[in-house]
Amino acid sequence: MPNNLLSNNLASNNPQPKDPALAATRSAATYHTEARYEQMEKFVQSAFNGQGFRLKPLPGDASFRRYYRVSLDTPLQNSSFDASYIVMDAPPQVESIEKFIRIDLLMATRVNVPTLRAKDLKQGFLLLQDFGNVEFADILTTAKAEQDWATIDDLYRLAMHDLINLQGIDVNLARYSFGVPDYDAALLQQEMALFSEWFLPHINVAMSSDDTTLWQQFGQQLTQSLLTQPKVVVHRDYHSRNLMQDQYQQETLGIIDFQDAVIGPYTYDLVSLLRDAYVNWPEQQVEQWLTYFWQQLKLKPALLQTKSQANPVQMPSFMQFKEHVNLMGVQRHLKVLGIFIRLATRDGKSRYLQDVPKVWGDLMLEMSWLNEHASADVQQSIAPFYHWLNQKILPQVEQVLFRAVL
C-alpha cells in the first residue's frame, strides 16, 4: 500500500488544538454532525479518485473518535486499492490524529500496525489499512468454548512476542525523533486520581481528611516505585480488543489504538494483556504466561537497557518481576475503575459497568499478592491502603456494585 501521504512532513510537533474542559462537558454526538459526515465522504472520495464506495459505522471506543469501514463497490483490476479500508473520524477540537500518525510510523518498524493511505490533519480524518473483523478477543472466545487451550496459549505467546518486539524500540529515538512523552509522576498520579474522582463517589464513599492523606501518600509511594522500573515504549492499551487477526496475514496480529503511547514501565502492557478487563483466566494460567514472558526477557536482557540510564539495569529475579507486575497492575486498575465509571455516568456508555467487577477483582488480587509476597519495604508501604480497601471500600463495592451487576 503506498505511503506517499507521509512525504508531506507530518510532524509539525504541535498537536491539533484541543479543549479538554470543553470535551468533558459535551457528548461525542456534539461533534459528529451531518455536516461533518459529508466532509468525511468528500475526504474518502478524494482518496479513491471518485470510485464508488459504501461506509459502515463500526462500534466505538472509549474516546470521541468514530470509525467506519469503507468498502469499494468494484475494486479496479491491477489497482493499488484493497477491497476495504477504515476511516478514523477524530474531531480536531477534542482529538489529535497527528500523534497517531507519528506513533504509527515509529511502531511500524517493529510490529504490524495499519498502513496509512490518506490523511487530512486539519479536519481530523485518516484512511487506514483494514485488518478485518476478527479481534484477538473473538478468537479467544471461540477457543475457550471449544476448550482449545493450545490455541489460546499460542495466541498469548504470539501477543507477548509482539510486545517484546515493541519494547525493542529505542526509547531515545521514540522520545526525541517521534515526540513520545514520558509516563511521568504527574501522569501516573493523574490517572490514579480517577479512582477517587469517579469510582468512590459511584459507590457512595466520601473520603475523610485522614482517608485523603492515606490515599495521597499511597499514590506518591506507588508512583515513585513505578518510576524505578526499566523504561520502554508503552502501547498503553495492549489488550484483547486492540489486537486483531490481520485478514491479509492471518498468522499475524494487527495492533491498533496505540496513539496514547508513552515511555514508561516495562510491565504496563503485559498487565494490560494478561489481566485484561474483558477476559478472565485462572491465576495459575496467568502465572504460566508471566513465567514465559520473564524467560523471554532473560534471552534479550538488552531490552531493559537504555542509553539514558546512568546505571545498567539488572535483570530482575522472577519474584522481583512479579512484584513489578503487581505494582503496575495496582496503578492501572485504579485508573481503569475510574475510567469505566466515568464512561458509564458521564458519557452514557453503561456497557462498561459489566466489566468493573473483573477490574476490582484484579486490583484486590494484586494488593493481596503484594501484602503477602512483596519485599518488606513494599509490604510496609501498601499495608495501610490495603487495610483501608478491605475495611472501608470493599463493603461498599459489595453493596453497590456487585448487586447492581447481578
For the full predicted model, state whether its pTM sits above 0.85: yes
Mean pLDDT value across residues 97-105: 95
Mean pLDDT across 134-144: 95
Mean predicted confidence (pLDDT) in 110-125:
96
Asked whether residue 325 carries a pLDDT value surpassing 80, the answer given is yes
Q: Comparing 11 with 325, which gets the higher pLDDT?
A: 325
Q: Identify the band that residue 50 occupies on the pLDDT scale cut at 50, 70 and 90.
A: confident
Residue 330 binned pLDDT confidence (cut-offs 50, 70, 90): very high
Amino acid at site 62: A
For residue 44, name the pLDDT band (cuts at 50, 70, 90). very high
Cell numbers at 378, concatenated? 513494599
* 237-286 residue pLDDT tens: 999 999 999 999 988 999 999 999 999 999 999 999 999 999 999 999 99
* Per-residue confidence band for 61, with pLDDT thresholds at 50, 70 and 90: low
Q: How far apart are CA 239 and CA 143, in angstroms?
A: 17
For the cut 90, the answer to whether the pLDDT of residue 370 exceeds it is: yes
pLDDT in tens, 169-178: 999 999 999 9
Half-sphere exposure of 340 (CA within 13 A, CB side): 20
Q: How much is the pLDDT for 7?
A: 30
Looking at the predicted structure, is the pLDDT value of residue 62 above 70?
no
Q: Taking CA 22 as the corner, what is the angle to CA 16 and CA 26, rounded to the nearest 5 degrees?
A: 110
Beta strands 84-89 and 66-72 are antiparallel
Work out the percent of the chain whose per-residue pLDDT is above 90. 77
What is the model's pLDDT at position 73? 85
Residue 74 pLDDT exceeds 90: no
Q: What's residue 37's pLDDT?
A: 93
What is the per-residue pLDDT for 312? 58
A 10 A CB-CB count for 283 gives 12
Q: What is the pLDDT of residues 195-220, one digit of tens each?
A: 999 999 999 999 999 999 999 999 99
C-alpha to C-alpha distance for 250 and 247, rounded to whole angstroms = 6
Cell of 123: 479536519
Residue 78: predicted pLDDT: 52
Bridge partners of 231, per DSSP, are 265
Domain architecture of the chain: domains with CATH = 4-129 (3.30.200.20), 136-405 (3.90.1200.10)
**Distance, first Cα to last Cα, the chain:** 48
- Does 303 score more than 80 pLDDT? no
Q: Which residues contact 350 (CB under 8 A, 6 or more apart)?
A: 344
| Residues 229, 267: Cα–Cα separation, whole Å | 8
Is the pLDDT at 332 greater than 70? The verdict is yes
Beta bridge partners of 244: 135, 254
Contacts of 27 (CB under 8 A, 6+ apart): 347, 348
What is the predicted pLDDT for the residue at 80?
72
Question: How many CA atoms lie within 13 Å of 182's alpha carbon, on the beta-carbon side?
Answer: 11
pLDDT score of 101: 96
What average pLDDT does the structure give for the chain?
Answer: 89
> Residue 54's closest CA among 66, 67, 41, 37?
41
Q: What is the pLDDT of residue 299?
A: 86
Residue 209's contacts (CB-CB under 8 Å, 6 or more residues apart) are: none
Residue type, 153: D
* CB atoms inside a 10 Å sphere around CB 275: 27
Average pLDDT over every residue of 315-334: 97
CB-based contact 261:234 (threshold 8 Å):
yes
Q: At a CB cut-off of 8 Å and minimum separation 6, what does 262 contact?
A: 180, 181, 182, 183, 187, 233, 234, 236
pLDDT tens across 25-38, in order? 455 667 778 999 99
Q: Which residue has the cell 489481566?
A: 275
The neighbouring-strand residues paired with 89 are: 66, 125
